[in-house]
Structure formats: structure tokens, C-alpha cells
Amino acid sequence: MVGAADLFQTGLQETGQAVEALLERLLDNAALKGETTRPARLLAAMRHGALGGGKRLRPFLLIESARLCGASPDAALLAGAALELVHCYSLVHDDLPAMDDDDLRRGRPTVHKVYDDAMAILAGDALLTLAFDVMSRPEIHADPTVRLELVIGLARASGLGGMAGGQALDLEAEGRYETDRKPLTLSEADIRQLQAMKTGALLLYAVEAGGILGRADQTKRTALTAYGRAVGAAFQIADDILDVEADTATLGKEAGKDADRGKGTLVQRLGLDAAKAERDRLARTALEALSSFGSDADILRTTARFIVSRGH
Amino acid sequence: MVGAADLFQTGLQETGQAVEALLERLLDNAALKGETTRPARLLAAMRHGALGGGKRLRPFLLIESARLCGASPDAALLAGAALELVHCYSLVHDDLPAMDDDDLRRGRPTVHKVYDDAMAILAGDALLTLAFDVMSRPEIHADPTVRLELVIGLARASGLGGMAGGQALDLEAEGRYETDRKPLTLSEADIRQLQAMKTGALLLYAVEAGGILGRADQTKRTALTAYGRAVGAAFQIADDILDVEADTATLGKEAGKDADRGKGTLVQRLGLDAAKAERDRLARTALEALSSFGSDADILRTTARFIVSRGH
């Protein structure tokens, strides 16, 4: 007998392969209408930043939410790839020496290590730009208002008032802008808001985009938003716990770096045990949000459990 | 009697003020639907990069092309502001130490000098992201397919196959990726392609976007494309000539820097006199492209003349 966890793992893997294949096609060297040519070095840097790794969790959440709302799987896959381009751009820029200064990502050298800072900046820029191109394409949805809702939602989840803003708050939380060098003390509410922006916004968007694509009614959308918010918050706490507990070999990036920098995490603010309890509480909240759905939502339920229990 | 040149100067100034006021509103601290909050430091860095300077030539070209095609001036102004956000993001990123390493822009310290590299990277990212948000808004055009055409066009003009790709080629043209340090020799065709991408694509898009907004027929669109292509190419040659001839005080940025870096410009490839002749030839091409239009296109004609004759 095949359990929900096995189905989930198989689905996550299959979606990951489909996303990879689609990103590979989106990042080939054929110039599209409106493009002049695709310069080889920049394209290679973009491919390094986007291909060959990652769980593709955001596309998976988008696709499974879309499926729950009756949207076309092919359209959801393309929208998921557009979303993943935004996630990949953010990793390329966050890894830069001027930002988090990481040399390793998914066990491989980061884009700026393989190329240089300039090419990494441009590769991130171009991945972000391509995301909006892809999300606007007719294959996403026949109704143009649906595509525009997706585009605006993506922009707001990832920009000043979302992911980029969260990264800015995170840099401030390090204390790098405190002229007297005294450590910054963030309140629990500050940390929650920072994390809701930095990682939460894009995970929430993944789930909401599924509802937009499936033209879900308001009840479903409200449920998906509650689920997405809880899952997004739980993800970041789980990540921070992992960062404290894991070693470099398991994680594929330099472990303990976030703690070294004195960043504001709930692990630091509340302690490890309380952070774990909060992570588990959020996972329950995510499951409760799906209570009006039947077994159709089992994959999203398993995803919530996976997010809090993953080892890497 | 008021001549075309005076009308043009007045129009350019008035449009510049309207764009400034609109950017000021787009960059206020009120979070929009879908945004969590707008972090103060990142917002300030974005405002430094986008407000208080520049001729706003791209919005002007968009608005005047839109006017020629009968589009609403208010809608064109908003689309012009979205386009200007992309231009401003590109300046913030291009000025970074890892890229062109400029400390001055429009006579003021660049964003990374006032803030730091991290905040400048994020400010550029968030300006780019905001551009797609603004271009997708209902106020741009009642018909969503028009907005989507504008969004896709903007993405392709500014991404891998456009402006970002052109900047990548320009970095390669400096020879920074040549391991044996021998100077790179670009053909005239290489330089033209590089420039068509780096600066030409966004200027061409400005003009084409006016046609899209005004739902111009194919004849008008073809004429506008020919005009935009010629104006874009002339602009970059004029800029390169200016860079050789101007001094720092007049220009508000460090003069002669591009030449110092050995970048591929047509001034270097063809010599100053031949470059000037080519610039003037392109201006004539731009005027010829408008021959089917009446006096309605006089402002675009004056713009072409301005672009080749400007002192700064």
C-alpha cells in the first residue's frame, strides 16, 4: 500500500524534474521576439543560478494548490517555473559578497564564484526580468486578467513590500547599519514580519497563485491564504532550526552562518525548544486551514508536514 | 513666435516634472495590497536612485509616441514612469563597484556610496520589480491584452536579450574576462549590436510602447520602430562622443571613464569624425522614418535633433 508520504515524495520529485526541464527550455539560447540575442556568458551564469538543484518547493506548492482549484496542470507548471525564476534570482543576489557572502549553494560554488560579482548581479537581474515575461504569456491562462493578477501578485510578493524588503530588514537585523556597533534587538513581532517578507511572501504567493489560476471562490482563497501564511512561517523557523543543528555536509551550504552573523531568528529570540514548538503549532494551523477540503488536499497536508520535518 | 525647439524644451521640462511627481507617489511609504510593509532604508535607497534627476527622456519618448497614436496622456505618463523605473534600476546596478564603479551620477553620490552595495543591489531589484507592478495596473489601459503586451515588451527590452545582455557584452568588451589580458577587438557589427541592446533596446521600447498604448496600425508601428531604432543608436554614439569631449563639471559624472576602460564604442572603432557623421546619418534616418506623419510628429523630430546635439 502506498502512503500519502510516498505519494508526496514521488510528486515532489516528478514536479522537480518537470520544472527543471521547463527552466532548461526557458533558458535556451534562442532569442525570442523582442529580444536581440542571448549573450552566452550571461546565459551560462543564469543557467548556473537556475538549473540543477533545489527541491522546487514553490512550484510544487503552486501546482498542488492549482490542482486543488481545478486549474490546468500545464499552466500551473509554467507559472511555477516563473515563480522559481524569482526564487533563483534572489539566491544569486543574496549569495553575493556584498549581501550574505556565501560560496556554496546546493553543494556547488555560487554564481559569483564561478563567474564574478558583475555577472552574478546581471544574471539575477535577468532571471527576475524573465520571470515577468514568462508569467505574462498566453499559455499561463486564456483570460488576460488572470495573468495580470498573477504578475502584480508576483511583483508585490517579491519587491519592496515583500521578499526584497525582507532581505533589507534582515541586513539591518545583522546590525551592519548601527554606527555604534551595539547589537540590534528585534522584537518577536519584528522577526515575524521580517520572515513573513523575506521567505514567507513567496511561499504564500505560490499557494495564492494556485487559487488565482483556478479562479477559486473567496472561501477557498481565504483557506489557501491561511495555509500559505502558516506554511511560509513554519518553513523559515524550520530552516533556522536546521541551520543551528545541521552540519555543512548535510546542508550543502555553510552551516551556522546565520547564527554567526547574529541575525534575528525566532530560534535566537525564543530558544530552540520554543522555536520547535512554534514551528509545530504553525504546521497545525496550516492543516486546520485546509479542514474544509477533502482528500484532494492531502498532498498539501503532507507538504506542511514535510516542511517542518525535512532534514535538509 | 515660438519655435519647435522651444516647444520641445518646454515639453521635455513639463514631462520631467510630471514623471518626478508620479515617481514620488509610486515611491511613498504606504504599502499596497499584497505588500506587507515598505522598509524605510530600502525605500530611501530606491528614492535616491529614482528621484531628483535625469531628463526623463524615455518617458518623454513614450508619451510623445503615444500622443501621436491618440493614446491617453495620463496612461502614457504612468507607463512612462514604469519604464523610467527600469532605467533607474539599471543605473543603480551599473554604478556598483563590481560593475562600472561610478561614485557620481547626475552630480550626486551614487546609491551605493550613500547607502552600501547591498542596499544598492536590493534597491535596483525592487525598482525593477515595481516597474512590472506599475505596468500591469488597470490605469495603464482598459484592455488587459494591451497591458500584457507592454509588460512582455518591457521584459524583453530590459532582460537577457536586451539591456542586461548588452551590459554583459559591455563588460566582456572591457576585456575583463580575457585570461591573457590582451585587449579585445570588437567588430563594428559587434559594437552596434552591443549598443542596440545596452541602451538602444529601452529607447526603442519607449517609442514602441507609445504605439502599443495607442493601438497604432502596422504602418505606424513600423515607422515608430524605425525611428526608435535610429534614435537609440544615435543616442549612444552621441553619448560616447560627449564622453570623449566633455569634462567632469559639465557632465556630472566622471568623464573619459569609458575610454579609460577601453570599451568598445564606435568613436574608438571609427574615429571621432566618422562617429559624428554616423550619428548625424542616424538622425536623418530617424526623421525619414517619420515622413508619413504630419506636423503631429514635430516633437519627435525635434527630439531626434536634440539627442544628437545635446551638450549634457
The confidence score (pLDDT) of residue A179 equals 67
Q: What is the rounded CA–CA span in Å between residue B122 and residue A301? A: 34
Which residues from chain B sit within 8 angstroms of residue A125, using beta carbons?
A: 89, 93, 124-125, 128, 159, 164
For every residue of B162-219, DSSP letters joined together read SHHHHHHHHHHHTTTT-TT-PPP---HHHHHHHHIIIIIHHHHHHHHHHHHHTT--HH
Would the CB atoms of B125 and A122 count as touching at under 8 Å?
no
Which residues from chain A sit within 8 angstroms of residue B23, using beta carbons?
A: none
* A22: pLDDT strictly greater than 90: yes
- CB A265, CB A191: distance < 8 Å: yes
The confidence score (pLDDT) of residue A262 equals 46
Residue B296 belongs to domain spanning? 4-309
CATH of the domain at B62: 1.10.600.10
CA B193 to chain centre: 16
The stretch A143-152 carries a mean pLDDT of 98
The confidence score (pLDDT) of residue B174 equals 86
Residues near A308 by Cβ (< 8 Å), separated by ≥ 6?
A234, A238, A279, A280, A282, A283
Task: Check if A152 contacts B (Cβ < 8 Å).
Answer: yes
Residue labelled with grid coordinates 554604478: B95
* A128: pLDDT strictly greater than 50: yes
The interface residues of chain B toward chain A in range 78-117, judged by CB-CB distance below 8 A, are 89, 93, 96, 98-99, 116-117
Would the CB atoms of A157 and B34 count as touching at under 8 Å?
yes
Would the CB atoms of A129 and B130 count as touching at under 8 Å?
no
Would the CB atoms of B155 and A136 count as touching at under 8 Å?
yes
Would the CB atoms of A119 and B171 count as touching at under 8 Å?
yes
**Average of per-residue pLDDT values in chain A:** 92
- CB A89, CB A27: distance < 8 Å: no
The confidence score (pLDDT) of residue B181 equals 57
The confidence score (pLDDT) of residue A248 equals 52
What are A239's three cell numbers?
530552516
CB atoms within 10 A of CB A133: 26
Question: A82 versus A246: which is more confidently predicted?
Answer: A82
Q: How many beta-carbon pairs under 8 angstroms link A with B?
A: 208
Q: What is the rounded CA–CA span in Å between residue B154 and residue B149? A: 8
CB atoms within 10 A of CB B218: 8
CB atoms within 10 A of CB A294: 8
Which residues from chain A sit within 8 angstroms of residue B28, using beta carbons?
A: none
The confidence score (pLDDT) of residue B3 equals 74
Task: Check if A167 contacts B (Cβ < 8 Å).
Answer: yes
Would the CB atoms of A99 and B119 count as touching at under 8 Å?
no
Q: What is the rounded CA–CA span in Å between residue B110 and residue B120? A: 9
Which residues from chain A sit within 8 angstroms of residue B165, using beta carbons?
A: 35-39, 42, 126
Q: What is the rounded CA–CA span in Å between residue B202 and residue A2? A: 54
pTM: 0.95
Would the CB atoms of A160 and B39 count as touching at under 8 Å?
yes
CA A48 to chain centre: 17
Helix (H, G, I), strand (E, B) or coil at A109: strand
How confident is residue A186, by pLDDT bands cut at 50, 70 and 90? confident
Task: Check if A32 contacts B (Cβ < 8 Å).
Answer: yes
DSSP designation for A30: P
Query: Which of B23, B36, B94 best probes binding to A when mutated, by most A CB atoms within 10 angstroms?
Result: B36
- CA torsion B260→B262→B267→B273, rounded to 10°? 60
Strands A108-109 and B104-105: unpaired
What are B188's three cell numbers?
563594428
- CB B204, CB B228: distance < 8 Å: yes
Q: What is the rounded CA–CA span in Å between residue B195 and residue B282? A: 14
Please report, for residues A94, A125, A285, B122, the alpha-carbon distance to residue B44 in angstroms, rounded to integers and kept in the order given: 20, 20, 36, 11
| φ, ψ for residue B101, nearest 5 deg | 55, 60
The confidence score (pLDDT) of residue A292 equals 95
Which residues from chain B sit within 8 angstroms of residue A151, using beta carbons?
A: 132-133, 136, 151
* A131: pLDDT strictly greater than 70: yes
The confidence score (pLDDT) of residue A249 equals 53
Would the CB atoms of A35 and B161 count as touching at under 8 Å?
yes
Residue labelled with grid coordinates 534587538: A185
Which residues from chain B sit within 8 angstroms of residue A31, using beta carbons?
A: 161
* A81: pLDDT strictly greater than 70: yes
Provide the domain count of chain A: 1
pLDDT averaged per 10 residues, chain B (length 312):
79 97 98 97 98 94 98 97 98 97 94 98 98 98 98 98 97 81 78 97 98 97 98 95 74 55 79 95 98 95 91 54
